[in-house]
Structures are given as structure tokens and as C-alpha cells.
Structure 1
Amino acid sequence: MTIKIGDRFVGPEHAPVIIAEMSGNHNRSLDRALSIVDAAADAGAHVLKLQTYTPDTITLNVRGGNFEISDSGSPWAGKNLHDLYAEAYTPWEWHAPIMARARDRGMQCFSSPFDETAVDFLVGLDVPAFKIASFENNHLPLIRRAAATGKPLIISTGMATIAELDEAVRTARAAGCKDLILLKCTSTYPATPQNSNILTIPHMSALFDCQVGLSDHTMGVGVAVAAVAHGATVVEKHFTLRRADGGIDSAFSLEPEEMNSLVLETERAWQALGAVAYGPTEAEQKSLVFRRSLYVAREIHAGEVFTTENIRIVRPGQGLPPRDFAAVLGRKANRDLSIGTPMSWELIG
């Protein structure tokens, strides 16, 4: 089940891959974009992800009606779609220098194409994978074009029903996708832990026979850690230098210290999974001595009966186990015993 994206292995046998999503947090500055790459690398992120579109490849330049965001709970409430994407998009001529900086800093870098022309453009940059955003998971022509490249394909599943996901997965595989990762995603900005439903992750993995990760819009790292505990092999989070700087996605983006925490804590969660195991681990062997066992609690003469006064269940653990306490009581010592002697059957007449 292991998938290779560039030089990075993705799968249950490997630590979760952490994707830092730049999105529009460059605030229309290439210098800031490159600083975000550096900060993501310093924080330990494994992948830097972009979004590849222009206002005209994603919407129409129309005012009013459905082209205005009316949801008062949205961070983009009141904005016109074309204006929003004009503010948020990453100029295509920036992609090459951003990707070069990511490679120089030891990270993979790929992007979310939002139409077929973006796929073709990214193929020309030799990206190691494609990511299909949640709002595009019903865009079957886009999925078909990305899958046909033969590169690994990551699809966010926000809002999609099982039937829609089945259609997307079948489309991808029919077009040639061999390496598929789905990302559990809640398409609210920010999302809450209560509507994250990460128990879907193992179910989705079994249903579609593929790896599943998390595209996470919640604040903090708790949901991501829980997702890894349920089998997530990839975690994607929006990333910025400082939320206080503002920007399209800043309100639900991690800052560098938080990204570093995400990298560390998700790897710890993965390391903690281990296997089903009972009994002392190899590391615990030296601690067995601190369990309780039976010891002589006062001087005992040969022939004297063992009682609750002269033997006790105490630490350390070198004597008979506590379960033998009742079997020893009423028996006799076959020799003189000093206080602190660990009990054994050889001492009993």
C-alpha cells in the first residue's frame, strides 16, 4: 500500500506526511511566498502545496446573485467570487521559483489544479503528484486529466456523498491512477472538532481500498493527532507566517510553531500505534522488579507457621507472586528466615 511521492514514502509503515498548504497566504508577494516555504521547511513539514488557477479558470466575472458570497459565517462573506480569486491566486510564473525553493529546502512541492489547463501546466513543471480540492471532487473531467498523467492523486472528500466519491474514484482509476489517497475533509473554514468525523477514515480506507488522510481546517493539532490514531497517512493544514498578518486563509492557518507541533505530535501518535500486544515489553523488563511479591516481614524460626503478620505482599517483585499468598498462609517454614527474605516454595515445609 506504500506510495512514493518524489522521494517521500507514504503509507502505514511510515510516519504521516505533513502538507503545508500555502493557498493565498502569500498575500500577493513572491518574497512572502518564499518566506512561507522556508518557514514550512524549518517547522519540519514534508510537502509544500500550492493552488493553480486564475480567476477566469475558476469562475465568471459576474456581479451579484450567486457570484457573491452571502454566507455571514464565511471568512469571505460579502466578496465577489472573481474578486476573491483574483486576490487569492498564486501567479503561475511564481510556481517554478517556489517549487525550486521547496526542493532546495528538502521538501516536495505539488499543487491543486482547478482545471485541465492547470494540470497541463503542472505536468510541465514535473510535479510529483496532484491534489484535487474538495470543491473540485465532482469535476470528473479534471480528475480524469490528472489521473491520466500516471502521477499519484490525492482527492479531498469534503461534501461528497459515498456515491459521488465512488464516481470520483472509479473515474480516477479508469483513467490510469494507480496511486490514490483520499483525504477526509470538512469544508467549513474553520472547521470544528465536532464536525470532523474522523471515524470515517478507516471506513473510507476499507470502502475504497486506498490510503486515507486528513485535510484539516480545525484550529490546533488535536484532530490531526486523532486522525493519525485512526490510520491517516497524510495530514494537510493551511500554513502562514502569522495569522495577524491577515490574508485570505489566515484565520484557519497554522503558524510555524504550531506546524512544528503538528509534525512532532502526529509522528508520536504514529509511533504509539505499534501492534496489539500484552505482557511486558522489552523496555518494561527492568521494571518488573518494582511489582509486588511475598516477603518475610519479621524473623521466622524453622517450623513456625506463616501468617499475615510474618509475611506480606510488598515491593520489590523477587518473591512469590501475590496470587500465592493464600496458599502459603498456614504452611510452615523449613528453616530460619530473616526479615526481607523473598518467599519461594523452597522455604516451605
Structure 2
Amino acid sequence: MTLHIGANPIGSHSPVYVIAEIGLNHNGDVALAKELIDVAADAGAQAVKFQKRTPAISTPEHMKDVLRSTPWGEMTYLDYRYRVEFNREQYVEIGDHATLRGLDWFASPWDEPSVDFLEDLRVCAYKVASASVTDDALLRRIEATGKPVLLSTGMSTTEQIDRAVSLLDPSTLAVLHATSTYPLPPEEANLRMIPALAERYPGIPIGYSGHERGLQISLAAVALGACIVERHITLDRAMWGSDHAASLEPHGFSTLVRDIRILEEALGDGVKRVFPGELAPLAKLRRVDA
């Protein structure tokens, strides 16, 4: 059975499924979120992704009272988390905007109540953030929805990934190679994990979630077999916020999608043939016929 997210088939014989990770780069501003959705749609992506938290549950205890300087003044980390969360009405507004722009939209829930919140909004899929790979209760709650699941694998051991995969239905699962360094240096990309994951989890689509600067590593991921590519997007990498520096600006993201489409066409099917464009050089240059 082919995995589908929305109307999009996912796999090696389908177009690469490109996800624009908006995450928290909207900085709690619905208008900014809509602008980023437009960036994704104009570039030709298939989906946009957000993050959903219940801050009182998902914020680590040792971080809650840590003070942070923000554009809204100094506040605790917990208060900051509340400040950038969208409520139901805001999610309806941005979700409708994504749908009208022809995009799938979904989110990474960081706690079980956030799964219930997103189920109420009828998201088409779920992304498991790398930080949540070891949260068995969250994985089981996501699995119970029956929706497609994209499992990111950053900051995780092989044994931890194996356990997470064992808790999820392989027929609705895709596994994304990731390294959770922001921004990602090339020496930590470890792209050979893409074919390694494909060998370890046969039949499960393998993708790539990138946090690097530039495009080369994401394009190499496609060449190595990634059938999903997720990248953070922003209007300006200099904006305030933890993920902007590891994000692509509109022109860069548009170029990435364009180059992915060229690359997947160039990869072909692996069947050797004489192409039409070779016939004239063949007639001109080959001296001895087989």
C-alpha cells in the first residue's frame, strides 16, 4: 500500500514531497504565518508544517522560569512559549489559508493534548519532532489517530529509533533522517544514513529534514533517495527567533524546490537505453556496429 499525505503519494516512484517548515518562525503572528504559507505555495511545495505545544506540559521544568529577552520584553521561557502559540481560531485561519493555496498542512505535537487539539482541526498527518522520539505515550496517541506519521530521527540512537518505529504502523509511516544541530554543519549531515535507513526499514519511505545553510545538502539527500524533504522557511534569516538562522528565505526555498524537480527528473529509472538525443551523435561518431 502506498503512503499518501493528503492527495500526494509518497515514495521513490512519486515526486519528492516538499514540506516548508514554518514551525515557530511566525513568531505568534497570524499575518506572518500567512505570508510564509504564500512563500511555500509560490515555490511549489506540497505542505506547510507548524509546531503545537501545551506549554505547561511540554516545557521542561528546568526551563520554565529561565528569563529570555524577546521582542515583547523580558519574560520567562514558559511565558514566551505561551506568547507564540496559536489558539484554535488562529489555527483555523491559517489552516484555511494553506488549504486555499493548495497545500497540505499539519504540525508536530509536543504533548498528548496537542494531538487532541490537532485532531479537532482534522490535520492530514503528524510529524514527530526529534525531541519526541522517546516519548512512548505521545507516539501511541499519535498512532491511535490512524493518520500518516513522519518520524524525525535527530538526537536519537538507532535503538531509540527502532523502538519508536515499533510503536507506529509501518503502512502509515515515513522516517526522516535529521541531525538536530542548528544551523547544521556539513560534517554532521551524515547523509549516508538515508540509504542506511532504507535498508533498515524496508518498505518505509525515507526522507530528510534539514537545518543547514544553503541547498547542496538537501539536494544531495534527494540524490541519495530521500522522497521527502523538509526545510525551515523564513522571510529573513536575521529575524528574531531560534530557527530563523537555519531557515531558507523565499528565493532560496523557491530555488530548492526548482532544483529538486530538475534532480528527480535527471535521476531517471536506472534502465539503460539509447535516448533520442544520442541518435545523431551515434550516427556521426560510431565507426563499428555491434
Q: TM-score, normalised by structure 2?
A: 0.90
SS in 2 for 1:178: helix
Structure 1 counterpart of 2:72 = none
User: What CA distance in whole angstroms lies between the structure 1 residues aligned with 2:255 and 2:143?
Assistant: 33
SS in 2 for 1:236: strand
Cα deviation for residue 277 of structure 1 reads 4.1
Cα deviation for residue 140 of structure 1 reads 0.9
Cα deviation for residue 117 of structure 1 reads 0.8
Structure 1 counterpart of 2:147 = 151
User: What CA distance in whole angstroms lies between the structure 2 residues aligned with 1:197 and 1:180?
Assistant: 22
**1:207 counterpart (178, 182, 200):** 200
User: What CA distance in whole angstroms lies between the structure 1 residues aligned with 2:101 and 2:262?
Assistant: 23
User: What CA distance in whole angstroms lies between the structure 1 residues aligned with 2:43 and 2:279?
Assistant: 36
1:263 equivalenced with 2:257 (yes/no): yes
Structure 1 counterpart of 2:49 = 49
1:125 equivalenced with 2:125 (yes/no): no
Cα deviation for residue 17 of structure 1 reads 0.8
* Cα distance change on mapping 1:290 and 1:163 into 2, 3 Å: same
Is the 2:18–2:229 Cα contact (8 Å) retained in structure 1? yes
Structure 2 counterpart of 1:166 = 162
After superposition, residues 1-349 of structure 1 pair within 5 angstroms as 2-60=2-60, 81-173=77-169, 178-209=171-202, 210-278=204-272, 280-291=274-285, 320-321=287-288
Deviation digits for residues 213-239 of structure 1 (CA, Å, limit 9, x no counterpart): 001000111111111111101011111
Deviation digits for residues 186-214 of structure 1 (CA, Å, limit 9, x no counterpart): 00111112111111111111212211100
Which amino acid is the alignment partner of residue 236 of structure 1? E
* Cα distance change on mapping 1:192 and 1:154 into 2, 3 Å: same
Cα deviation for residue 321 of structure 1 reads 3.2
User: What CA distance in whole angstroms lies between the structure 1 residues aligned with 2:166 and 2:271?
Assistant: 38
Instruction: Note the aligned Cα RMSD (angstroms).
Output: 2.5
Is the 2:236–2:249 Cα contact (8 Å) retained in structure 1? yes
Is the 2:22–2:50 Cα contact (8 Å) retained in structure 1? yes
* Cα distance change on mapping 1:236 and 1:28 into 2, 3 Å: same
SS in 1 for 2:171: coil
Cα deviation for residue 270 of structure 1 reads 1.5
User: What CA distance in whole angstroms lies between the structure 1 residues aligned with 2:66 and 2:284?
Assistant: 68
User: What CA distance in whole angstroms lies between the structure 2 residues aligned with 1:321 and 1:200?
Assistant: 44
* Cα distance change on mapping 1:179 and 1:230 into 2, 3 Å: same
Deviation digits for residues 125-145 of structure 1 (CA, Å, limit 9, x no counterpart): 111110000000111110111
Is the 1:60–1:82 Cα contact (8 Å) retained in structure 2? no
Is the 1:156–1:215 Cα contact (8 Å) retained in structure 2? yes
Identity %: 37
Which amino acid is the alignment partner of residue 163 of structure 1? E
User: What CA distance in whole angstroms lies between the structure 2 residues aligned with 1:63 and 1:133?
Assistant: 19
Is the 2:215–2:256 Cα contact (8 Å) retained in structure 1? yes
Is the 1:137–1:168 Cα contact (8 Å) retained in structure 2? yes
SS in 1 for 2:23: coil
Q: Which runs of 5+ in 2 are unaligned?
A: 68-74
User: What CA distance in whole angstroms lies between the structure 2 residues aligned with 1:245 and 1:159?
Assistant: 26
Deviation digits for residues 12-71 of structure 1 (CA, Å, limit 9, x no counterpart): 11111110111111122111111111121111111010111132131256568xx759xx
Is the 2:54–2:114 Cα contact (8 Å) retained in structure 1? no
Greater relative contact order, per chain length (Cα 8 Å cut-off, separation 6+) = 2
Larger radius of gyration: 1
* Cα distance change on mapping 1:150 and 1:289 into 2, 3 Å: same
Deviation digits for residues 125-169 of structure 1 (CA, Å, limit 9, x no counterpart): 111110000000111110111011111110100021111111101
User: What CA distance in whole angstroms lies between the structure 2 residues aligned with 1:4 and 1:63?
Assistant: 37
Which amino acid is the alignment partner of residue 27 of structure 2? N
